[in-house]
Amino acid sequence: MRRDFPRSLDSLSPLYEFAEETFESNDISPGVRFPVHLAMEELFVNMVKYNPNVSTDITVEVTVTFLGDATNDATSSKEVTVTLVDDGGVEFDVTAQRQVNIEAPLEERTPGGLGIHLIQNLADRLQYTYKDGRGEVIFTKGSGNEDV
Amino acid sequence: MFEIEYGDNGEVLCRGRLDAAQCEKALGFMDGLEGPSTLDFAELEYISSAGLGILLKTQKRLVGSSTGLKIINVNNHIHDVFRYSGFHTIFDIEAKE
Question: Going by C-beta distance under 8 Å and a sequence separation of 6 or more, which residues neighbour residue A13?
Answer: B1, B21
ipTM greater than 0.90, yes or no? yes
Domains of chain B: 2-95 (3.30.750.24)
pLDDT digits (tens, 9 = 90+) for A70-114: 555 555 689 999 999 999 999 999 999 988 899 999 999 987 889
pLDDT digits (tens, 9 = 90+) for B24-44: 999 999 999 998 999 999 999
User: Tell me: domain A2-142, CATH 1.10.10.60, correct?
Assistant: no
Q: Identify the pLDDT of residue A148.
A: 60
Q: Report yes or no: A145 and A111 within 8 Å, Cβ to Cβ.
A: no
Query: Assign residue A113 a region: left if phi > 0, alpha if psi is -120 to 50, beta otherwise?
Result: left
Domain ranges in chain A are 2-142
* Chain-chain contact of B19 with A118 (C-beta, under 8 angstroms): no
Of B1, B63, B77, the CB nearest to A34: B77
Task: For chain A, say whether B50 makes contact (Cβ under 8 Å).
Answer: yes
A88 vs B73: CA distance, rounded Å: 42
Task: For chain B, say whether A121 makes contact (Cβ under 8 Å).
Answer: yes
Task: For chain A, say whether B27 makes contact (Cβ under 8 Å).
Answer: no
* Chain-chain contact of B80 with A105 (C-beta, under 8 angstroms): no
Q: Report yes or no: A35 and A140 within 8 Å, Cβ to Cβ.
A: no
Pick the residue from chain A with its C-alpha nearest to B85: A102
